[in-house]
Structure 1
Amino acid sequence: MTACLSLRNVAIGYDGVTLFDGIDLDLTGGSTTCLMGPNGVGKTTLFKTILGLLPPLRGQILIGGRDITTMRREQIARHIALVPQAYQGDPSHTVIDIVVMGRTARLGLFETPGRNDMAAARRALDALGIAGLADRTADRISGGQRQLMLIARALAQDTDIIVMDEPTASLDIGNRLALLDQVRALAARGLSLLVSTHEPEQAFAIADRVAVLGRMQRFEVGAVDDILTAPRLRSLYGVELCLESTPSGRRVVTRSPAPPQAVSEV
């Protein structure tokens, strides 16, 4: 399958400081790739680089075979949408007004959203089961509903690729599970998703592949079971971890038991 997004030997950073080098990654339609790595390694910087907000320090980022450095911001936004960790805009805006903002990249310089744009926004809300929230303001819905609203905004943007920056970070377990169900549904629709997470269990639940920004600028990508091994997780996060399977077959990560303390004789 042809990659809709390709990174070729990419180095990322800002102000001339390289945070990570040697990133090679292909995203294809109908797949979910989880991006993992310790805090401060460069995951957010990588997202900003993919979105065209920062230039790559080296290498190429290609969208449909075209180098993003030759593309305008609005052209990139027609291919890649972002779902941030939380909504940071005006909380007095209604859900439908926020979702229709996803159409901005498809409007002319002085155009305002028209009937077709509003219809696209309502279809996105309906697809996520939150059409009934359309006229509520963002401060009158729950945290989980706000995350679904942000996904709806990305859907209304009508892109091939959706990038999600720790989308479950502030959610309770019920909303977290509901959102992961939506991620699986989006991939089933043929979209390509790149989702950053600190939770290996989420990668086991939703991902086809895992990309790891590791320590010492070591980049690895591959099938979930091949990448998320106990030794690699220990190296990645600096704590003793082990993998276990529940009776239902779900993979979970647990803290390795501490060795027994030696008892000194009196």
Structure 2
Amino acid sequence: MSALAAENLAVGHGAARVASGIDLALEPGSVTCLLGPNGVGKTTLFRTLLGLLPPQAGRVLLGGEDIARLSRAAIARRLAYVPQAHAGAFAHTVLDLAVMGRTATLGAFASPGRADLAAARDALAEMGIAHLAERDATRLSGGQLQLALIARALAQKAGVIVMDEPTASLDLGNRIRVLDVVRRLADGGLAVLVSTHEPEQAFAVADRAAVIEAGGRFEAGPVTPLLTAERLSRLYSVEVVVEATPSGRRVVGRPARPR
């Protein structure tokens, strides 16, 4: 059974449809990268998979159950979301931020207990930022904040994590750190869905890829057969080539200019 699945899904806002024919299965222990140009519906698809928007057609299954029939608390116990890092409006410590991931397991007026604090501290340690627990989260670097947001999701103890462009605006070192975390989470048994504008990230860490093209056409499959130079050129309206380096890493770039 897939951890999270979309079956013949169509997504949009109101009567406006942005993508349809979406069949997607996220398996435990795997990373799936979602690619597509701006404005094709990646965020709308994410919001539908998270149960925040109703499907226009088809259904979303979370652990085999229709997500439309689950409460928000039940969804949060199984499905975690990592937004793009941004400075918060209120000052919380990094530990407080991680503890927020335990909200779904608490009663309406309950305070975090010893087990919740332990789960939050374990998540910070997993991300390598336990030493930042008492730091004001608004004073973190972009990379540190992204790791803190992933720790918050880990503290939920959910089996599925959905990440919205987790490396956006990060420098090279922090991009590498976050991608290493993404792969490590999957290797630990989680199902991970990541949106990205960088095909090379999919080649580096993903087991499968999915694309939404202009006009809402959706396709998913193994990374290398799906993300061909032809498809990427069409996807982003610019001619590119995909080449393998001597180490076997696949890179995307512009064709060489004739001399």
TM class, shorter-length: over 0.9
Q: Residues 60-209 of structure 1 correspond to what in structure 2 (within 5 A)?
A: 60-209=59-208
State the Cα distance separating 1:41 from its structure 2 match: 0.5
Aligned residue for 1:51? 50
Instruction: State the secondary structure of the residue aligned to 1:170.
Output: coil
Work out the CA distance in 2 between the residues paired with 1:138 and 1:88: 8
State the Cα distance separating 1:6 from its structure 2 match: 1.1
Kept in 2: contact 1:91–1:137 (CA 8 A) = no
Kept in 1: contact 2:88–2:138 (CA 8 A) = no
State the Cα distance separating 1:59 from its structure 2 match: 0.4
Instruction: State the secondary structure of the residue aligned to 2:215.
Output: helix
Work out the CA distance in 1 between the residues paired with 2:24 and 2:215: 18
Moved more, 202-211 or 83-92: 83-92
Kept in 2: contact 1:6–1:27 (CA 8 A) = yes
Aligned residue for 1:242? 241
State the Cα distance separating 1:91 from its structure 2 match: 4.7
Instruction: State the secondary structure of the residue aligned to 1:10.
Output: strand
Q: CA RMSD in A?
A: 1.2
Amino acid at match of 1:245: A
State the Cα distance separating 1:140 from its structure 2 match: 2.3
Aligned residue for 2:11? 12
State the Cα distance separating 1:87 from its structure 2 match: 3.3
Q: Deviations over 1:28-71 (max 9, x none)?
A: 10000000111000001111111111111110101111101111
Residue identity over aligned pairs, in percent, reads: 61
TM-score, with length taken from structure 2 = 0.97
State the Cα distance separating 1:256 from its structure 2 match: 1.8
State the Cα distance separating 1:259 from its structure 2 match: 5.8
- Residue-pair matches, total: 259
Segments of 5+ residues of structure 2 without an aligned counterpart are none
Kept in 1: contact 2:40–2:215 (CA 8 A) = no
Work out the CA distance in 2 between the residues paired with 1:89 and 1:46: 25
State the Cα distance separating 1:75 from its structure 2 match: 1.1
| The structure with more radius of gyration | 1
TM-score, with length taken from structure 1 = 0.95
Work out the CA distance in 2 between the residues paired with 1:111 and 1:87: 28
Q: Deviations over 1:131-190 (max 9, x none)?
A: 000000012221111000000000001100000000000100001001111111100100
State the Cα distance separating 1:88 from its structure 2 match: 4.8
Aligned residue for 2:34? 35
State the Cα distance separating 1:89 from its structure 2 match: 2.7
Kept in 1: contact 2:87–2:138 (CA 8 A) = no
Displacement over 6 Å in runs of 4+: none
Kept in 2: contact 1:211–1:222 (CA 8 A) = yes
